[in-house]
Each structure stands twice: as structure tokens, then as C-alpha cells.
Amino acid sequence: MRSIQLLLLIILLSLNAASLHAQSNNATLIGKVTDGNGKPLELANISLKNSSIGTVSNRDGVYLLRIPAKKIVIIVYSMVGYQSGEKSIKASEEQKLELNVSLKQIDQEIEEVQVTQNRRTKTNMNRIDAKYMTNMTDAGTGGVEALIKTLPGVSTNNELSSQYSVRGGNFDENLVYVNDIEVYRPLLTRSGQQEGMSSINSDMVSSIEFSAGGFDAKYGDKMASVLDIKYRKPTEFAASVSASFLGGSLQVEDLSKNGKFSHITGVRYKTNRYLLGSLDEKGEYNPNFIDFQTYLTYKFNKSFDVSFLGNLAKNQYNFMPQSRETSFGTISQQYGAKIYFEGQEADQFVTTTGALVANYHPSEKLNLKIIASAFQSKEAETYDIDGSYYLNELEQNTQTGAADSALNIGVGEFLNHARNYLDVSVYSLEHKGAYNSEHHLLNWGIKAQIEKIDDRMNEWVLRDSTGYAIPYHSDKLELYSSTNMKYNMNSTRATAFIQDTYQIPIGKGSLYATAGIRSQYWSYSKEFLLSPRATLRYYPEWNSNFVFHLSGGIYDQPAFYKELKDRNGIIYPDTKAQRSAQVVLGTDYIFRAWDRPFKFTSEMYYKFMSNITPYQIDNVRIRYLPNQKAKGYATGLDMKVNGEFVSGVESWASLSVMKTEEDIIGDFYYKYYNQAGELIIPGVTADQVRASSQIQHPGYIPRPTDQRFNFSVFFQDYFPGNPTWKMHLTAFYGSRLPTGPSNSQRYMDTFRIPPYRRIDLGFSKVLINQDHKKYRYKALDSIRDMWLSMEVFNLLGINNTISYLWVANNSGDMFGVPNYLTKRKLNLKLTVKF
């Protein structure tokens, strides 16, 4: 409770600092941005050159920006489809200046099925400025995902993982695209520390679009969200390099002299050994993650170009555990667990992606594209770990204040063994097209995909408690769990979609309607699916500060491979696609406070899910139960307010309230059986159990992602009159998630993990920018920007729980020993751009 109060205090102090900035020694710049015909331009970018300080124009083209006083600053005006402009200004303290600009429209070719942006958004995809990644304090695996986790509807409880949950969906229900190529993740990862880096290189990103639900038919068949990433095409030579305690990166981009060939290439290295040293489980951590990505484009003429996207990632995680000591429990009853380990874990995940794209646009209205892509993943998970544990009751020492061991209540041992190997190959050939007329935007696509799976799994767990194995048999030794299987699967998928976006004039207001349908056929399940989807966006005549939108449809999610395999390695080939019927109603409202622009967005949603496959989550590992089927729902409200809490820099706060439950069909049969499939009621047959009138059906139970309340903040600040000194803060609060003992039945997962609470704080100082004078050393003259950052991870030092290690006491009772996440750590990072 004290942590929550401290979190609120920090947020209030930050907002109070924002109001103080309104009275600082800055100046105020106002004006209007128009096109060549004098029409106002909405969402034009107005920013300080070489700085994150900036704003956007409203629907009337009007903007307001606070700028440093008593120095020359360069204001940059830009917008997609228009030539950028720059203006130099020097203002005195608290001076109010007016500067109106007109941007000239340019003839922009249709590229990558992207049509010249209209000043009004016609879809429910939210565009996020990639510049915020520069200031994002991130202890995890990627700047893009760290940004996404602060948005409404998105929840996270693991800073070591790039994965996230959206509106009650699990990690596997999120779509991720990079330049129209669907991104696949390794399937065997169990914990966040094994993941390595995100598959998205944030140094190469030009645009980010995200939808938390109700997305269009042109996006694929998943039930939760879609993240659409575009890598940029260079216009000149540039490079960047960064280094920190967590690793480093190098990025180079260039455009040939004749303007035909361009490339952007990035190399990243990461080792999170420094962070993992703060975990309760002590030992020799040796994680090494390396990633190489490149995006090449050759332009034959104005109408035809070919591009190649390549990615090679090698993640190695080696760990030799030694010991662990964890205290847990309540104020009235405290426990301590000591574990001594022998053995080691060695995991390796190697993924490669290659995609060749031919893009043909014979006219400004028509774009045709062919995409050939290949993805391969070779995964190996091997470990032999022997652990001896001592479970004690603790009591508080009144003299030292520390907790001392009062009584030993359990002694035991466990042995975990695995030799798991998985090879995945996915090959696809796809055509996409777009036709843009005066009132319509038609998109279509067709895709054929081949999938090859080779799975070899040998995994078992032996648990011993005070001299007997669990589960106990007087005449034999039985493993707690065991899996030994080999499986090969070859299958093909065919998908297609068509959708149209058209404008319906309503007085001076506008209504944009998008309607489409997509289909899929998978040879393995022999299932044909149709998914209609639609979106309406209304810009009312009576108030230009409002936008209303309504979207929904059918979202089918056929199994990939994980959904077919249960926790014992048994494959269920009859598993059919999960289905979600969604409706989303939302509004955007633009307003002014402290004489600065703000935007409030809200969305209400309801998702009814049928034929869903229940699952359980352990850290980031999802274990499906395909032998069971369920129906369920998710409903909630997402809200976000963003704007210039501090003049010139944008911040936001997100609040989500959500509930998701499922009803497993026929689960009253399972609760009368043990793990061996034997009835636990002596002398009663299975038919008698089914016929008994005393059987109680569990009904709706919380889904593993049932996080009722989620709050996040991204806040930026800078020193008055000196924007080279910056502060950035991210804060998260996520309410308790349900869990249960390992290998338990789903209806037993009613115990809740403590809430996730975390604050990350960063400070940065710009050392060199383009406005610097010539330096004594010529090598420094080639530097465009250089800044030094200090980050404080987990500022409050809270022990957040990600999962539990279940052990037994002398009476056979199970205790969940919490697996805590990282503690407070400092990180220094140097970034240089050329």
C-alpha cells in the first residue's frame, strides 16, 4: 500500500513540476499550418530541431509550442505528403510570437500499399511517433514493445520480456508485422530472461501503428491486437552507435548517389547478466544475444522497386544455479525457502527471416506487390538441475528486526530434466494490392503458406518430499510429470482478404466506412473460415474536437502448433480455430489546458469468445489444454490522456478496467480425477459421477490474463530554458493475476499473484548536437548528436512476482515459493549519431 501511495506522490509531483514549467523562462510560439490553397492541415508536426520537444496542429491547423528563450532555435514543420520547412527564431522570456506557415504538397508515390495520408485518419489504427523510443527507459528487450506497454488495453507483468497481453488475450494472440512480414517468436522459451532481444530493431523503425482490437480485415487471423512496423528507406548517410551495461548496437544507413539503391542495417548485442544478478536464484548467468537485420531497396524506375528484409538472431542462455533464498507469506505467517542446486541449463534459439518484395505502382492510384518470405527457427532446450530445499516457518527477531527460522516444516528434493528440440520452417508467397480513387481505397491480398514442424521432446520432473516421491505409491516410483514424444507436421494455409474504405459526406462532417472480409483454409484441420470486419469513423459537423468510431467483426485464430500440444506433449489434431466476436466503441476528444493541447481517448469493448482452448501461464510459457474447450468473454474500458503536461514535450497516462472469464465445457468431469486419470472417490464409477445430482459445475472462472485494473504513465520533462537536460519516467500498476499449482486443473487457478508495481526513471544530457561549434578534434565534427543517459530500473525496489515454484512440506501440503523479478539497478548508456 505504501508503494502505491509513493507512486501517486511521484506522479503528482511530476504534474506539479509541469505546471511550474508554464511559468518558467520560456517563450510561447503560436501559429497556423496550411497547405498551398490555404486549407488548414491537421496533425502537422512542429518541433525543435534535434530535440524531442514538439507538438502537432489541431483540425484548424492551429498549434502552440513553448520554446527556450534567449537563444536561437530552429522550428521544423513537417507532414506526410508535404515538403518540410524550417524557421529560425530568437525570443525573449515569456514573449508570445505568432508564426504562420504554408507547406507545399509534393507528388508522393504509393509505396508499400500506403496511400498519401489524408489529414483525417480513416482506420482505427493508432499511429505512434517513433521518436518516443529514444527517451523510453527500458530494462527489457526492445524499445517498441516498451512503448506499446504504456498504451491503454495493454498490460505487462514482466520487465524481462517483450511480450504483452491485450484486453484479456495471451501473448500468442498478438499480430506483429515488420514491412508486411508477419513476425514469429521462438516457441520453447519459458522465462523472460531467455528471450533475448525483440525481433524489432528500434533503430531502424520509421513508423508504428497499433490496434488493441477491432482491426481491419487486411490484418491476419489473431484475436487480440496488431502491431504494424515499417522500417525506413534512407535519404542520406547516417549512422548511430550505443553502449550500456546491457549491451550495445550499431546502425548504418545510406542512399547511393544515383538515388536507386538504399540500405539500412543494424547489429545488436545484449547480455542481461547484470540484471539477472539481482534475482533470488544465485549462480553463474551467461546469456548472450546477438541480432543482425538489414533492409535493402533497389529502385529500377519511378514505378518499380525491389526490396529485401533479412534478420538473423542467435540467443544463447547458459545458467549454472547455485543457491536460492526466498522469504514469502503474510504479515502474520511468514515462510522462508532455501534451495541448493547442482547442474546447469543450456538453451539456444536461432531464428532467420528473409523476405523479397517486388513493388509495382504504374500510377498514383494503383499499387501491386508480391512478397516471398521464409522463416526458420532452430530451438534447443537442455537442462539437468537437482535442487534440495528446506521450507521453514519464520518469526521476527525483535532485536535485529530480521526474520529468523523458527521451525522446519519441509525438506525435499526435485530433479528437472529436459532434452527438447524444435525446428520450425514457414514459407509463404503473397500478393497485395491497393487502388485509391477520390472516395474509395480498395485493398486486397492473397497468400499461400507452407509450414514444417519437427518436434522432439524428452522432459521429466521427479519430486521427493521427506523420503517419498510425489505422487506417492507404496509399490512403485512415479515421476511427478513426464513427456517423451516425437512429431512431424507438414501443412499448408491459404488466406485472402478484400476491403474497401470510402467517404460518406454528411453536411460539413465526414463519415469514413471500412468494410472487408478475410478467409483462411488450413490443410491440417481442413477448416474453412470467413471473418467479416467493419469500422466507422465519424467527424461531426457540430464539434470539430470530437471523433467517434465503431468497429468490430469476427476474429478467428487457427492453431499454429503450440495450441495443438498439451502439457504432456500429446497432440490433438482435431483442434479447431478459436473464435472471437468483437465490438469496440470509442471517441477522441481534443481540448486545451494550461493553454496547451491535449487529447483524451476512450474505448469500450466486448469480446465474446467461442471454441477457445484453455491454457495456463508459467512466466512467459503458455501451456495449452487442447483436450478441453471453453467459451468466454472479455469486456472493459480503456482511457488515455496525452498532451503537453510540460510545454513542448508530450506525455500520457493510460487507465484500463477489464474483466475476462471462461467456462470450460464439461469440466465437472475432470475435478473428480487425479493426474493419473483415476477416480478419487472410491467405489464410484465414472457414470455414477456424471449422473450425480450433487455435481457442481465450476461455471465461469477467471482467465489467466484476468488483470482487472491496469494503470501506466509515460512522463517527460526538461530543465527550463535548457532542453538538453531531460527526464523520462515510466510507471506501471497491474492488479493481481490468477494462478495455481503446476499440473493442476484449470478450475483450481484461483490464487492471485501480488500486483505488479514498477517505476523506471531516466535522465539524459545532450553532449553534442548539430548546433555545436567546430571542435578542436575534427572527429567530433562528424557527430550529429551525442547524449549520455542514466537509468534507474525499479526505482522503488519492489519484489514483483512472476510465477511460483511449488514445493511440499512434511504433510504433503503444497507451498508456492514466489519467483521474484529484478530489483533496483542503475544503467549508463551512451548514444552517438552521425
User: Per mean pLDDT, which range of 9-18, 288-297, 354-363, 641-650 is the poorest?
Assistant: 9-18
- Name, in order, each residue with C-beta under 8 angstroms of 406's C-beta and a sequence gap of 6 or more: 392, 393, 394, 395
Q: Pick 645 or 656 by higher pLDDT.
A: 656
Q: In the predicted model, is pLDDT for residue 3 greater than 60?
A: no
Residues 208-219: what's their mean pLDDT? 93
Residues 356-382: what's their mean pLDDT? 93
Closest among 492, 626, 493 to 572, alpha carbons compared: 626
> Is-contact 782 834, C-beta < 8 A?
yes
Q: In the predicted model, is pLDDT for residue 348 greater than 60?
A: yes
DSSP 674: -
Q: In the predicted model, is pLDDT for residue 473 greater than 70?
A: no
Q: Write down the mean pLDDT value for the chain.
A: 83
Q: In the predicted model, is pLDDT for residue 419 greater than 50?
A: yes
**E-state strands within 466-572:** 468-470, 481-506, 509-522, 527-539, 546-557
pLDDT grade, residue 694 (50/70/90)?
Answer: low
Can you give the pLDDT at residue 602?
94
Domain extents in the chain: 2-102, 126-234+246-665+698-833
Residue with cell 500498476: 733
Can you give the pLDDT at residue 250?
93
Percent of the chain with pLDDT over 90: 44
Q: In the predicted model, is pLDDT for residue 514 greater than 60?
A: yes
CATH number 2.40.170.20 given to 126-234+246-665+698-833: yes
How far apart CA 100 and CA 81 sit, in angstroms, is 19
CA 636 vs CA 582, 586, 709: distances in Å? 12, 12, 10
Percent of the chain with pLDDT over 70: 85
Closest among 188, 100, 160, 150 to 380, alpha carbons compared: 188
Q: What is the pLDDT of residues 298-336, one digit of tens each?
A: 999 989 999 999 999 999 999 999 998 888 777 667 888
- Strand bridging mode 649-664 / 700-702: antiparallel
Q: What per-residue string of b and e applies to 119-134 under the rule 16 or more CB within 10 Å gives b?
A: bebbbbbbebebebbb
Candidates 3.20.20.80, 3.40.228.10, 3.30.70.20, 2.60.40.10; correct CATH number of 2-102?
2.60.40.10
Residues 439-451: what's their mean pLDDT? 93
How far apart CA 616 and CA 622 sit, in angstroms, is 6
Q: Pick 148 or 773 by higher pLDDT.
A: 148
Q: In the predicted model, is pLDDT for residue 721 greater than 70?
A: no
Amino acid sitting at position 436: N
Closest among 578, 622, 684, 632 to 172, alpha carbons compared: 622
Helix, strand or coil, per DSSP, at residue 79: strand
pLDDT grade, residue 391 (50/70/90)?
Answer: confident
Q: Pick 827 or 41 by higher pLDDT.
A: 827
Can you give the pLDDT at residue 154?
94
Q: In the predicted model, is pLDDT for residue 745 greater than 90?
A: no
Closest among 667, 457, 481, 671 to 564, alpha carbons compared: 457
Q: What is the pLDDT of residues 658-693, one digit of tens each?
A: 999 999 987 764 455 544 444 455 555 556 555 554
pLDDT grade, residue 214 (50/70/90)?
Answer: very high
Q: Pick 762 or 74 by higher pLDDT.
A: 762
Phi-psi region of 217 (alpha: psi -120 to 50; beta: other; left: phi over 0): alpha
Cell of 499: 476491403
Helix, strand or coil, per DSSP, at residue 273: helix
Closest among 780, 712, 722, 616 to 157, alpha carbons compared: 712
Residues 460-475: what's their mean pLDDT? 66
Q: In the predicted model, is pLDDT for residue 807 greater than 60?
A: yes
Can you give the pLDDT at residue 200?
92
Q: What is the pLDDT of residues 162-196, one digit of tens each?
A: 899 999 999 999 999 999 999 998 888 988 888 88
Give start and end residues of each alpha helix (H) in 572-711: 686-691
pLDDT grade, residue 573 (50/70/90)?
Answer: very high
Residues 221-248: what's their mean pLDDT? 91
Can you give the pLDDT at residue 169?
93
pLDDT grade, residue 7 (50/70/90)?
Answer: very low
How far apart CA 44 and CA 816 sit, in angstroms, is 54
How far apart CA 507 and CA 542 sit, in angstroms, is 10
How far apart CA 733 and CA 562 sit, in angstroms, is 30
Q: Pick 475 or 57 by higher pLDDT.
A: 57
